[in-house]
C-alpha cells in the first residue's frame, strides 16, 4: 500500500548538484506535506501553455484533445474552458466529455471500428462526426446513424514513430474515392479525410507525405462530385521526455506542416488535429518514494511504491522511456529501480545513475502526464495507481 509521506533522509554528503531552477522540486516538497505518495501532479498552467503553443504554431488547425491520453475530469474541464475540441473513441469517453460540459459540436468519434451500441449512443447524443476505414463500418454506421458525417481514415507512412498506428487502421488511399462515394450512396455525409502518422513522431516527412496524399484524394473526390471540407491530421506530435533530449522540435515541424497546408489546399478547408500526449504529457509529474532497498548484481536496488502495473504502464503500452530524478544530491551510482508488486517484470530500470537512496527518499519523473495513469491497472497486487492532483 502507499506509504505516508516521509521527509527525505538526511544526506550523508553536501550537495554537489545544481538546484532545480524550474521550481519543480519546491512544488514536490510542498505537495509531500499534503499528499501520500504515489501522486501525479498535473499543472494546469502547463496544459494552458501547451494548448497556446499548439494554436500559435498551427493557427489553421483546430485541436481536439485525445482524451485517451488522460481522461481525468479536471483535465477535460480545463480544455473545455479553453475552447478545445475532443477526440473520443468510445461512448464512455463521449459521455465523460458531455457530462463535464463539453459541446457535442466539438467532438469527433475518432475510432474506425465502433460497436453498434456506441454508434447508437452517438446518435442519441447528436455527436455526428466520426471516422471509418472500411465498407463494413459504413454499413454499420448507415444502419444505426443515418446522415452521420464521416471522415475516411487513410493508411499513411509511420516511419520513425515510436508507435505505428497504421498497422491496425487506415484504408488504402487508392480506393479512397470509392469509399467516399459508397458513404454517400448509403445516405451518409462524406465530409473529409483523416490520418495518423504514429505516436511520438519526430519525422515531419510523415505529415508532409500524408498531406500530399490527402490533397490528391480531395482533388479526385471533387472530380467525382464528392466535395470534401475537413482534413484531420491526427496526433503524434512529439514532446521531450528528458531535459536534454535532442531531435524533438515541434515548432520546426509546425513550420513545415503549415507550409505544406498553404501549398496544397484551399484556404476555405477546415483542418483539425487530435493531440493527446502533446497537450497533457508535459503537465504531469509522478512522485514516488523508496519503500525498500537492497544490493543485487553489484548495484544498489531500490523498490518504489509505483511501477509498471501502475503509472509507469507507459513503458509497456507506449514504449516510453522516462528520466528518473531524485531530491537527493551527491555522487551518483549505477542503480536499479523496481515497482512494488511481486512480479520481476515490474522493473523500471537496471542502469539508472542516481545518488544513494534510503527508505522514504523521493524518486520523481517529469513529462509523464500522458499514457501513464490512463493505462494503469487498478489495484494489481493491491497497489492502487497514483492519486492525480491538479495544481
User: What whole-number distance in Å separates Cα of residue 162 and Cα of residue 86?
Assistant: 23
**All 3 cell numbers of residue 354?**
542516481
Q: Output Rg (C-alpha) for the chain, integer angstroms.
A: 23
**All 3 cell numbers of residue 41?**
501532479
Which stretches of the chain drop beneath a pLDDT of 70?
1-22, 158-168
Mean pLDDT (the chain, rounded): 91
SS3 142: helix
| pLDDT at res. 157 | 72
Residue 239 sits at the vertex; the CA angle it makes with 233 and 241, to the nearest 5 degrees, is 150
| pLDDT at res. 322 | 94
| pLDDT at res. 161 | 52
Look up the pTM and report it. 0.90
List of domains in the chain: 24-42+284-390 (2.40.37.10), 44-281 (3.20.20.10)
Per the omega criterion (within 30 degrees of 0), is the bond before 353 cis?
no
The conformation of residue 227, written as its DSSP 8-state character, comes to -
pLDDT in tens, 299-348: 999 999 999 999 999 999 888 999 999 999 999 999 999 999 999 999 99
Residue (of 345, 283, 296) closest to 65 by Cα position = 283
| pLDDT at res. 159 | 64
Residues serving a catalytic function are 342
| pLDDT at res. 203 | 87
User: What whole-number distance in Å separates Cα of residue 254 and Cα of residue 235?
Assistant: 12
User: What whole-number distance in Å separates Cα of residue 46 and Cα of residue 244?
Assistant: 19
Amino acid at each position: 500500500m502507499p506509504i505516508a509521506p516521509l521527509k527525505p533522509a538526511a544526506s550523508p554528503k553536501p550537495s554537489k548538484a545544481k538546484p532545480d531552477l524550474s521550481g519543480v522540486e519546491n512544488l514536490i516538497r510542498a505537495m509531500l506535506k499534503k499528499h501520500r505518495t504515489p501522486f501525479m501532479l498535473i499543472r494546469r498552467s502547463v496544459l494552458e501553455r501547451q494548448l497556446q503553443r499548439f494554436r500559435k504554431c498551427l493557427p489553421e488547425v483546430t485541436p481536439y484533445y485525445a482524451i485517451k491520453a488522460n481522461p481525468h475530469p479536471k483535465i477535460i474541464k480545463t480544455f473545455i474552458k479553453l475552447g478545445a475540441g475532443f477526440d473520443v473513441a468510445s461512448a464512455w469517453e463521449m459521455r465523460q466529455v458531455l457530462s463535464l460540459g463539453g459541446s457535442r459540436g466539438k467532438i469527433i468519434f475518432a475510432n474506425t471500428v465502433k460497436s453498434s451500441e456506441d454508434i447508437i449512443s452517438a446518435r442519441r447524443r447528436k455527436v455526428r462526426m466520426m471516422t471509418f476505414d472500411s465498407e463494413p463500418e459504413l454499413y454499420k454506421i448507415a444502419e444505426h446513424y443515418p446522415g452521420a458525417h464521416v471522415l475516411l481514415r487513410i493508411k499513411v507512412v509511420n516511419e520513425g514513430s515510436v508507435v505505428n498506428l497504421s498497422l491496425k487502421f487506415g484504408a488504402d488511399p487508392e480506393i479512397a474515392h470509392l469509399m467516399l462515394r459508397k458513404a454517400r450512396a448509403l445516405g451518409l455525409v462524406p465530409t473529409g479525410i483523416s490520418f495518423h502518422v504514429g505516436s511520438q513522431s519526430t519525422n515531419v516527412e510523415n505529415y508532409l507525405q500524408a498531406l500530399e496524399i490527402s490533397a490528391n484524394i480531395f482533388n479526385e473526390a471533387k472530380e467525382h462530385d464528392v466535395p470534401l471540407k475537413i482534413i484531420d491530421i491526427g496526433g503524434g506530435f512529439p514532446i521531450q521526455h528528458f531535459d536534454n533530449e535532442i531531435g524533438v522540435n515541434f515548432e520546426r515541424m509546425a513550420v513545415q506542416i503549415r507550409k505544406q497546408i498553404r501549398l496544397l489546399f484551399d484556404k476555405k478547408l477546415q483542418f483539425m488535429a487530435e493531440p493527446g500526449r502533446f497537450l497533457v504529457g508535459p503537465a504531469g509529474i509522478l512522485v514516488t518514494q523508496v519503500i525498500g532497498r537492497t544490493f543485487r548484481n553489484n548495484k544498489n536496488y531500490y523498490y518504489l511504491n509505483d511501477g509498471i502495473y501502475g503509472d509507469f504502464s507507459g513503458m509497456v503500452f507506449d514504449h516510453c522511456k522516462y528520466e528518473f530524478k531524485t531530491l537527493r544530491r551527491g555522487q551518483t551510482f549505477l542503480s536499479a529501480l523496481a515497482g512494488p508488486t511481486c512480479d520481476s517484470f515490474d522493473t523500471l530500470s537496471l542502469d539508472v545513475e542516481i545518488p544513494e537512496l534510503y527508505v522514504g527518499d523521493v524518486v520523481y519523473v517529469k513529462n509523464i502526464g500522458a499514457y501513464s495513469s490512463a493505462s494503469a491497472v487498478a489495484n494489481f497486487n493491491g497497489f492502487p495507481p497514483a492519486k492525480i492532483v491538479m495544481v
